Amino acid sequence: MDVVVIGSGVIGLTTALRLQERGLRVVVVTADGLLSTVSAVAAAVWYPVGVEAGDRVATWSAATFAELARQAGDGVPGVVMRDTWMPALRRQEAAAEPWWGAGVPDLRRLRPSELAPAYADGWRFTAPTVEMPLYLPWLLGRFLDGGGEVVHRRLDTLHQARAWAPVAVNASGLGARQLCGDDTVRPVRGQLVLVRNPGLRASLRIQDDPAGYTYVHPRSRDVVLGGTFEEGTWDLGSDRRTAEAVLARCAAHVPELREAEIIGRPAGLRPDRRGGVRLEAEDRENGLRTVHNYGHGGAGVTLSWGCADAAAELVAAHR
């Protein structure tokens, strides 16, 4: 093999595919089953949330937006372009475009006629939404069809990756805390609520709700409601009271949800990193050349293809 990718979440699989497209032989080594990663429970709507703003992040976000929009047009399973409303309770600076706005072709300010009485301002745009239980198997299928291999094994050190290839991409998410001794990596727990879709089609995202971060993301059969950002919490248990609070604040903005039936209360641990995403090359003492690609916080899907492109460039430059 030419490259070993550590991790089978959306970051690992998209990177593995970009490496394959360059003609490299790739093996993915993962401790988790495909639907056991945090990617599998993500709301997975394009938006750079839970990650430090900056030019690199804006570039990766825009590249991923373009790729997901192309995939939606091609009918890739689980990928849909959806009308997205982002109202604000407080007035924003009149001329200020969001730092991520350059990558969104139809971004515009909400008109006064579109603002409900509770809202003072906001944005509207079309964003890619991804149903991960459909999308992750599609990514894996593409990888396997391209000759890729998957090995289910938990690594204790990066050195162990040398058993498969001379070059590794470290897309291990929270696992990087142990593999790299990176104490800046920490979990940010997120609990969601899944309800049956009462007929909603547009996404809603409210950043400044004092009751908590609020989003409503319809999918083909359900609606994802959120959410929580609990820093440093490793607990994956589902809390009923938290779910009820999430549903209540979402229903306050979308009345159709008041009688919605709860069908799931999943939780996941976002792989956050103080200092932002680590995407860089490193030559290690054991002769293993490593490209790190982890620390995406709550924006794994949003940054996935842009970071995969950048990681593949680093691999090519360091082979």
- 12 has pLDDT over 90: yes
Q: 60-105: per-residue pLDDT in tens?
A: 999 999 999 999 999 999 999 999 999 988 777 655 789 999 999 9
Asked whether residue 232 carries a pLDDT value surpassing 60, the answer given is yes
Phi, psi of 271, deg, nearest 5: -85, 85
Can you give the pLDDT at residue 287? Answer: 79
- Read off the pLDDT of residues 263-276 as tens digits, 9 standing for 90 and up: 999 999 999 999 99
Relative orientation angle of helices 132-145 and 10-21, to the nearest 10 degrees: 30
DSSP 222-236: EEEEE---EET----
pLDDT for position 319: 65
Higher pLDDT, 41 or 238: 238
**Residues contacting residue 260 through CB under 8 Å, at least 6 positions apart:** 195, 196, 198, 223, 247, 251
- Does the structure show a pLDDT above 80 at 244? yes
3-state secondary structure of 291: strand
The 10 Å CB-count burial string (b at 16+, else e) for 78-95 is bbbbbebbbbbeeeeeee
Among 3-7, 131-135, 234-238, where is mean pLDDT lowest?
234-238
Q: Please check whether residue 80 is in contact with residue 74, taking contact to mean a CB–CB distance below 8 angstroms.
A: no
- What pLDDT, on a 0 to 100 scale, did the predictor assign at position 237? 85
Q: What is the mean pLDDT of the chain?
A: 92
Neighbours of 297 (CB within 10 A): 22
Q: Show the tokens assigned to 163.
A: 């058993």
pLDDT at 6 over 80: yes
pLDDT tens column, 282-314: 987 677 899 999 999 989 999 999 999 999 999
pLDDT above 90 (res 50): no
Task: Report which of residues 117 and 265 the model is more confident about.
Answer: 265
Which pLDDT score, from 0 to 100, does residue 120 have? 87
Q: In the prediction, which pLDDT does 44 show?
A: 87
Task: Look at 208 and 168; give whichever has higher pLDDT.
Answer: 168
Residue 191: is its pLDDT beyond 80? yes
Angstrom distances, CA of residue 60 to CA of 64, 215, 235, 293? 6, 23, 30, 12
CATH code reported for the domain at 3-317 = 3.40.50.720
Among the listed ranges 62-76, 132-146, 235-249, which one has the minimum average pLDDT value? 235-249
Dump pLDDT digits (tens) for 15-48: 999 999 999 999 999 987 766 677 777 778 999 9
pLDDT value at residue 125: 97
User: Residue 150 has which token pair?
Assistant: 């998957």
What is the model's pLDDT at position 65?
Answer: 98
pTM: 0.93
Q: Are 174 and 272 in contact (CB under 8 A)?
A: no
